[in-house]
Amino acid sequence: MDARVAIVTGASRGIGAAIAVRAAKAGYSVLVNYSSDAAGAASVVEEIRGCGGDALAHQADVSDPAAVGPMFDQAATLGPVTAVVNNAGITGNLIGDLVDVPPATVRRVMDVNVSGLIYVCQEAVRRLSTRTGGPGGSIVNISSTATKAGSPGTWAHYAASKGAVDVLTVGLASEVASQGIRVNGVAPGSTNTGLHAAAGMPDRVERLNPTIPMGRGAEPDEVAAAVMWLLSGEAGYVTGAVLPVAGGR
């Protein structure tokens, strides 16, 4: 029997890497997508293989629609793709008021976080839909609890892009529910990854801890656990949901 295959975009580090490793431990062969961090992706593949799993690293900028089909083709060499996790996302490595965000940064954030996610969802539906002979499966989109307050003074542009992710998740879930495809989202809160340091605020999660009812930020593996539940058969009647993983914040 062919292995189940999961595609995880933006999986060279942080939450994406944790999802890729968790998926492998759950029995998936994993395509570890990355845009520029080849060394990070290779490290994730090595970790998966060290645990007895199967994985491939594949470079593709999801904001380029011409790159998405070949990514799925590469994943298909591992077996039938039945799980797609849209984790690729950027903040533009910028923190500040919306008025100061350069147009080029706005465009790039929207291209990756919104357009790229749409392109991957489109290809996933083409490949997974039982209407066209596909095996069915599950799509999980990584959003953010930044959509709740809008991240004023920090990442309002990023929060706006994740709001689009939430709406897309709900709409697509309704479209493809009869085609054997479930579509859900996971919205992490403050999480201990390199995202904040890359934007110039390495202590941001620690500073936010007092505002979180559980008193701490999430670990990437805790977010990955929620993703894996949504991919699993235990969530077989769940679609169109966006699950916050934010310690009560």
In the annotation, is 158 catalytic?
yes
State residue 232's pLDDT score.
Answer: 97
Q: What is the pLDDT of residues 131-189, one digit of tens each?
A: 999 999 999 999 999 999 999 999 999 999 999 999 999 999 999 999 999 999 999 99
Q: In which band, very low, low, confident or very high, does the pLDDT at 201 lie, cut at 50, 70 and 90? A: low
Give how far the C-alpha of residue 14 lies from the chain's centroid of Cα atoms, to the nearest Å: 11
Mean pLDDT of 196-213: 74
If one counts every other C-beta atom within 10 angstroms of the C-beta of residue 143, the result is 28
What is the total count of domains within the chain?
1
Print the domain residue range for 98. 4-245
- As beta bridge partners, residue 244 has 187
State residue 206's pLDDT score: 79
Neighbours of 72 (CB within 10 A): 21
Q: What is the pTM of this model?
A: 0.94
As a whole-number percent, the residues of the chain with pLDDT over 90 amount to 86
**Six token digits for residue 144:** 């953010």
Q: Which of 28, 119, 158, 237 is catalytic?
A: 158
| CATH code assigned at 126 | 3.40.50.720
pLDDT digits (tens, 9 = 90+) for 80-137: 999 999 999 999 988 899 999 999 999 999 999 999 999 999 999 999 999 999 999 9
What does the chain look like in DSSP terms, one character per residue?
-PPEEEEETT-SSHHHHHHHHHHHHTTEEEEEEESS-HHHHHHHHHHHHHTT--EEEEE--TTSHHHHHHHHHHHHTTS-EEEEEE------S--S-GGGS-HHHHHHHHIIIIIIHHHHHHHHHHHH-GGGT---EEEEEE--THHHH--TTT-HHHHHHHHHHHHHHHHHHHHHGGGTEEEEEEEE-SBSSTHHHHTT-TTHHHHHGGGSTTSSPBPHHHHHHHHHHHHSGGGTT--S-EEEESTT-
How does residue 191 score in pLDDT terms, banded at 50, 70 and 90? Answer: confident
Q: What is the average pLDDT across 188-206? A: 74
Query: Percent of the chain beyond pLDDT 70?
Result: 96
Measured CA to CA in angstroms, residue 96 lies from 102, 146, 156, 210, 214 at distances of 11, 14, 9, 21, 27
Residue 1 has pLDDT above 50, yes or no: no
